[in-house]
Structure 1
Amino acid sequence: ILRICWETNGSMHPALLRQAAELAFNSGGCIKFDLKAWSEELHIALCGVSNQRTLENFKLLAEYVSRRPSLPFLVASTLLIPGYIDREEISGISAFIASLSPDIPYALLAFHPQFMMDDLPPTSKRHARECLAEAEAHGLKNVRLGNVHLLGDYY
């Protein structure tokens, strides 16, 4: 069995995304979107580009969710960057995902300082728990914390 799975920031042209989606869907694979921020201004600050195409593309693929409910096709994740990605950001992303389907899996990932953000602490346990509760409050049925080994009492 060969399953094709993609991980993307979602900013590609919709025609290319549709091709990737068909390959993944037909092979039993999935597409994981990194939804980095809800606020467009914050997304531009962190990534240098708007998140509008990413959100539009994620919405485009939501139609696949009901076509294969037994094996998740569309998955989302967000890196919990201290000082940037807070409950408010997670609230916006979670409401967006839930409006498409509360069954879409969503992973909240602990941050580890590297590269241009090596001056930040790792994600705290408290921050992760608050964001998890916020996502669940929007009715998402499959939310989890990832990289839990990085969580600590940093702030």
Structure 2
Amino acid sequence: MSSGVAPATLIPGIRLTSVFPRTKRNSDFIKPPMDFLSIHFKIVVMTRVYHIVKFQDGNAYLLFDGCNWRCKYCVWREVTRWSLCLPEKTRQQLDYLWKERKVRYLTVEEVERILEKERVKIAFLGGGEPTLDPELKPLMKALAKRGIKVWLVTNGEGLDDEIVDIAYGITFSIKALDEELHKRITGVSNSKVLENFRRYAKSGKIVAETVYVPGLVECEEIMKIAEFIASINPNIALRIDPLVQGADLEEVDKCIEKVKNVLNAYRIKVKGEVKPPKLLYPVV
């Protein structure tokens, strides 16, 4: 006789492990008295977090796997699934681990332990699209309870009142104001995006974001986005990201100066302008 153990599923979602007596044939189970039978169940719920880095300012960035959009220039699909600010050698090592299926999703508790150990001040939750993760709210609540501020980076489609209430801040992405252009870029309409932006624009937690894409989303379209934002809440800032795959920083900066006539605008530092972050997960 041997004891059977049901396989453990690490990615994604729920891991269920059961232990019970059985015969050599999986279909023939022994039926001893119930007081003799010992059954153990262990359920582990996984998030979709697969990568964490910590920057010099003490803040961490968590990457979630999966997205409901298919942006033509998506850096996570077209360039790398890891932090762009990591050294190339480190990203190659991480690629190897991923290929060998040695990277798994983390539980809420594992994320908590990693961030607490590093004394992280703010956790930026992005990716990917974090609102697709069924464990997003439990994770946000757990981090907030431990005094870690949660900043969500999202396309905005999956936002709801509870998420906005828990979040310390939200980077809300608007890829294009023109609906047909938005469909060309992402594969989906922007109607829900704009609806949610209007709904939460006065929460005091929103920073808008878009990407300058030569030949696709240039300053003319970005100005339309800026004017849309200003018409709802002129106090919201617009972050204009350079396209990773060959950005013209000079053109981006010129556009930023133009947008500043409508509302506050800026861009984040790109690779080469910021020190490499500390890799927290996966470990290489």
Task: Please indicate the TM-score interval, normalised by the length of the shorter structure.
Answer: 0.7 to 0.9
Q: Spell out the pairing of 1:1-150 with structure 2 (5 A cutoff).
A: 1-12=147-158, 16-24=159-167, 29-65=168-204, 73-113=205-245, 122-138=246-262, 140=263, 142-149=264-271
Larger Rg: 2
Is residue 123–residue 150 contact of structure 1 (8 Å, CA) maintained in 2?
no
TM-score if structure 2 supplies the norm length? 0.42
RMSD: 1.9
Counterpart of 1:123 in 2: which secondary structure?
coil
Task: Tell me which amino acid in the other structure corresponds to 1:41.
Answer: E
> CA deviation digits over 1:95-138, x for unaligned, max 9?
0111122221211111112xxxxxxxx22133213321331122
Aligned-pair CA distance for 1:31: 1.1
User: Separation in 2 of the partners of 1:146 and 1:135?
Assistant: 15
Q: Identity of paired residues, percent?
A: 32
Aligned partner of residue 31 in structure 1, secondary structure: strand
What runs of 5+ residues in structure 2 fail to find an aligned partner? Answer: 1-146, 274-284
Change (3 A) 1:111 1:147: farther
Give the Cα separation in 2 of the matches to 1:50 and 1:148.
29
Residues 11, 57 of structure 1: 8 Å contact kept = yes
Q: Which runs of 4+ in 1 moved over 3 A?
A: 147-151
In structure 2, distance between residues paired with 1:39 and 1:8: 19
Q: CA deviation at 1:64?
A: 1.1
Q: Which is helix-richer, 1 or 2?
A: 1
Change (3 A) 1:19 1:143: same
Q: CA deviation at 1:147?
A: 3.5
In structure 2, distance between residues paired with 1:134 and 1:93: 13
Structure that is richer in strand per residue: 2
Q: Secondary structure at the match of 2:195?
A: helix
Unmatched runs of 5 consecutive residues or more in structure 1: 66-72, 114-121
Distance 1:52 1:135, change over 3 A: same
| Counterpart amino acid of residue 144 in structure 1 | Y
1:146 Cα deviation after fit: 2.1
Q: SS of 1:98's equivalent?
A: helix
* TM-score where L is the length of structure 1: 0.74
How far does residue 59 in structure 1 lie from its aligned partner after superposition? 1.0
